[in-house]
Amino acid sequence: MPVPTTRPRHYVTETDELAAALDAAALRWPELTRSQLLVRLAISAGEAERLAERERRERRLAALRRLSSEGIPGLEYPPDYLEKLREDWPE
What does the pLDDT look like over 63-81, one tens digit per residue? Answer: 998 888 777 777 778 888 8
Instruction: Answer whether 0.75 is exceeded by the pTM.
Output: no
DSSP result, 40-70: HHHHHHHHHHHHHHHHHHHHHHHHHHHHHHH
**Structural domain boundaries enclosing 52:** 16-86
The reply to whether 40 falls in a domain is yes
More confident residue, 43 or 3: 43
The reply to whether 10 falls in a domain is no
The reply to whether 47 falls in a domain is yes
Q: What is the pLDDT of residues 27-65, one digit of tens each?
A: 999 999 999 999 999 999 999 999 999 999 999 999 998
The reply to whether 9 falls in a domain is no
The reply to whether 31 falls in a domain is yes
Q: How many domains does the chain have?
A: 1
pLDDT for position 81: 86
